[in-house]
A and B are shown apart, each in its own frame.
Chain A
Amino acid sequence: AQSVTQLDSQVPVFEEAPVELRCNYSSSVSVYLFWYVQYPNQGLQLLLKYLSGSTLVKGINGFEAEFNKSQTSFHLRKPSVHISDTAEYFCAVTQRGGFGNEKLTFGTGTRLTIIP
């Protein structure tokens, strides 16, 4: 089984400042990692994913994340945030390969609030 820990439930950041949202995972097998964003009253939208290869992955809206296997982390970053980035961000994991292993296990989410 896998689990995901998002260490910060809320992160306030001033507009145009950088931000890092932290995510740690636990799994006895290899995993794929994802970040999703949820805007108010909306469904979840895929921001980016790590499958293999380069540990730095770039996603939509200027976000990027770095996979660190030794620290079992997959932190999300953006160098300069905008008001429109205000949303809830979810880290998720799924087991690599095998039948029936597609289900995503989500963290509890981090609410990012951008301060003008």
Chain B
Amino acid sequence: EDKVVQSPLSLVVHEGDTVTLNCSYEVTNFRSLLWYKQEKKAPTFLFMLTSSGIEKKSGRLSSILDKKELFSILNITATQTGDSAVYLCAVVKSRGSQGNLIFGKGTKLSVKP
């Protein structure tokens, strides 16, 4: 059975801390992995990763994929209160399944001032 597991499920840090969120997966015919940020209702796209070892970066956020070990990490440096959200990891299987994202349960990040 396909599964995506995120850890930790929740995390509380203080402003300025650096956090690492984990996502491991077991799916047949892996195609890509995506990270989303869900603040209230609408998940917003952060990164899409398809190749191993290539870091994607956007400001204080970065992510990398390890296809051999079947996991990805999302790093957030110098956290701010606005980073408080649920971070969702999703995996897409083979071509023809692109609309079907298999999500993990998410990591709830709380950043305290």
Partners in one complex: no
Residues of B within 8 A of A (CB): none
Residues of A within 8 A of B (CB): none
